[in-house]
Amino acid sequence: MVKTKNNKQSVVKFLKKYGYYIVLVLSIGLLTLIVTLASTSGGSLSIDSDIQVDAQPVSFAAPVASVTVLKSYSGTELQYNNTLKQWEAHKAVDFSGTSGADVFAVYDGTVKEVYSNYLMGNVVVLELKDKLTVLYASLGDDVAVKVGDTVSKGQKIGTMSDSAKSEASDGAHVHLEVFKSGVKVDPGLYLDLQGK
């Protein structure tokens, strides 16, 4: 009976002295096991099988043949609008050119809307992959696509004009807006505008 009591006291004394180290060693062993299992499964642990990641990032083609930026994107910095005589954020990129110059689809997509608006002129809206939407404004009357059309990157969708009355003093140009999940973003994230 005394021997059992001494054994219990010895175990308790041992755990008090070395218990922290035992827990530490077991934790490291468990972490090593998790890392080993993850690496043997190809390094791809999936929590949600519906999530698809595209290995190829979206990269736009130029919307016009001769890329000259008339007005760049500014989310917070104000730019002066000569037509409306006011300072405003310009959440788009305007490309200048000659009236009637071809305007192209920047990426493969589907025509979501085609309409005319006094301030924006003739407008085409394309839905792309990755929850991206592209809006072209200030197009000519000869829009080459209709709602529901599937377009390919580089395909003609219309021509450049000065139909956007809110930017009429800028002359013939194309006004390009990009939306990611419904929020306006800088088209420069998808277009190479360095030195343009």
pLDDT at 4: 58
This prediction has a pTM of: 0.69
Number of domains in the chain: 2
CATH of the domain at 134: 2.70.70.10
**Is residue 159 domain-shared with residue 91, that is, in the same domain?**
yes
Residues 135 and 95 occupy one common structural domain: yes
Is there a single domain that holds both residue 1 and residue 83? no
Which domain does 39 fall in, by range?
1-47
Task: Please state the length of the chain.
Answer: 196
Query: DSSP secondary structure string, the chain?
Result: -HHHHHHHHHHHHHHHHHHHHHHHHHHHHHHHHHHHHHHHTTT---S-TT----SS---PPPSBSS--EEE--EEEEEEEETTTTEEEEE-SEEEE--TT-EEE-SSSEEEEEEEEETTTEEEEEEE-STTEEEEEEEE-S-----TT-EE-TT-EEEEBBS--GGGGGG-SEEEEEEEETTEEE-GGGTS--TT-
Judge whether residue 146 has pLDDT over 70: yes
For the stretch 56-93, pLDDT in tens is: 578 999 999 988 999 999 988 898 898 898 999 999 99
Find, among 93, 140, 131, 81, the residue nearest to 109 by Cα. Answer: 131
pLDDT for 128 beyond 80: yes
Per-residue pLDDT of 64-73, as tens digits, reads: 998 899 999 9
Question: Confidence band (pLDDT; 50, 70, 90) for 48?
Answer: very low
- pLDDT, position 47: 36
Whether residue 184 is found in the same domain as residue 109: yes
Provide the pLDDT for residue 76. Answer: 87
Same domain, 144 and 79: yes
Q: Provide the percentage of residues in the chain whose pLDDT is more than 70.
A: 77
- The reply to whether 137 and 170 lie within a common domain is yes
Within-domain flag for 196: no
